[in-house]
């Protein structure tokens, strides 16, 4: 396949580019490097099936040649980034998604939309199934990300119904692994970098809120399983293993031998109290489920951050 990956220099996007190339596909990586990093794709420079297009997806674009699939991972995805870039986050979810949908429509290509578990908001249903409509504060402090993704899903389905664009919609749950940015504000990167620096780990709230963490290799396998299927989605791709923030902090502390302890700060507004995917559809229709446990994935992630911080 010939695949255009928007946001291809980001954490997930760069791993996706690697996986596509590894199975023999050709990749056009589209990124404006606002939150993506050239370091993430440096190893792909000179690859005969990889092309980099430095471009802002909120501007119309042209990709020459055949395009079989357009995969939209273009968006700030960490709290630090979307708090700093609220308007840009809304623009990329709306204008950017439409431009990428037009690109797919022009090439008669399938369109892959990377959505998020944030569309479920602070859920009143647990675990979260794809038919749950969510509990999102549309004007809350994190609404720029939640509502951008909810709108991008609606726009994707509108193009599917109005123009027949073949679509795939994935909802991502708390993915972690190498190439995360040390200062991106996500809980895994926060804990690991604090621990490696010998600092206390910061927990917001009382630490009883839960998340489900999916290692990046498992997540990307799920992406490709959905891309290659005939399923429209949305489909949850995440690890149903559920951990409290205290449990995660204790595990990171143990694995890094950090002795600085834990400090507690007030919980940010609209922070979900629990998050766990129901992956029944992914198992039954895609034959996918995660295989990397949290301790193993954290080991790889800690080693990446150890090298990154030393560098």
In the chain, what is the greatest distance between 2 CA atoms, to the nearest angstrom?
58
145 catalytic per annotation: yes
> Which residues, at least 6 apart from 196, have a Cβ–Cβ distance to it below 8 Å?
256, 258, 302, 305, 306, 309
The rounded distance, in Å, linking the Cα atoms of 76 and 161 is: 27
**Segment holding 51, helix H or strand E:** strand 50-54
What is the DSSP code string of 88-120? HHHHIIIIIHHHHHHHHHHHT-EEEEEEEGGGG
Question: What six digits make up the tokens of 288?
Answer: 């996918």
Phi-psi label, residue 133: left if phi above 0, alpha if psi -120 to 50, beta otherwise: alpha
CB 122 within 8 A of CB 81: no
Considering 82, 145, 176, 215, which one is annotated as catalytic?
145
Q: Residues with catalytic annotation?
A: 145
């Amino acid at each position: 396949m010939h695949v255009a990956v928007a946001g291809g220099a980001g954490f997930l996007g760069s791993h996706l580019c690697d996986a596509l190339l590894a199975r023999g596909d050709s990749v056009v990586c589209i990124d404006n490097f606002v939150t993506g990093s050239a370091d993430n794709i440096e190893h792909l420079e000179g690859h005969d099936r990889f092309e980099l297009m430095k471009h802002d997806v909120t501007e119309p674009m042209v990709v020459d040649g055949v395009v079989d699939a357009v995969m939209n991972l273009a968006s700030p995805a960490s709290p630090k980034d979307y708090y700093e870039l609220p308007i840009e986050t809304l623009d990329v979810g709306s204008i950017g998604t439409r431009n990428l949908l037009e690109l797919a429509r022009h090439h008669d290509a399938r369109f892959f939309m990377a959505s998020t578990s944030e569309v479920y908001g602070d859920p009143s249903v647990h675990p979260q199934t794809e038919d749950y409509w969510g509990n999102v504060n549309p004007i809350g402090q994190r609404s720029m990300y939640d509502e951008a993704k909810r709108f991008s899903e609606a726009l994707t389905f509108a193009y599917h119904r109005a123009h027949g664009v073949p679509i795939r919609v994935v909802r991502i749950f708390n993915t972690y692994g190498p190439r995360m940015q040390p200062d991106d504000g996500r809980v895994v990167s926060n804990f690991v970098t604090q621990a490696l620096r010998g600092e206390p780990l910061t927990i917001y709230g009382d630490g009883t809120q839960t998340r489900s963490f999916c290692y990046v290799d498992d997540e990307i396998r799920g992406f490709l399983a959905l891309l290659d299927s005939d399923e429209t989605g949305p489909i949850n791709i995440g690890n149903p293993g559920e951990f409290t923030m205290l449990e995660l902090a204790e595990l990171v502390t143990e694995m890094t031998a950090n002795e600085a302890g834990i400090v507690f700060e007030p919980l940010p507004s609209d922070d979900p109290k629990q998050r766990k995917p129901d992956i029944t559809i992914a198992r039954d229709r895609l034959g996918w489920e995660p295989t990397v446990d949290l301790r193993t994935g954290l080991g790889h992630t800690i080693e990446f951050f150890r090298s990154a911080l030393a560098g």
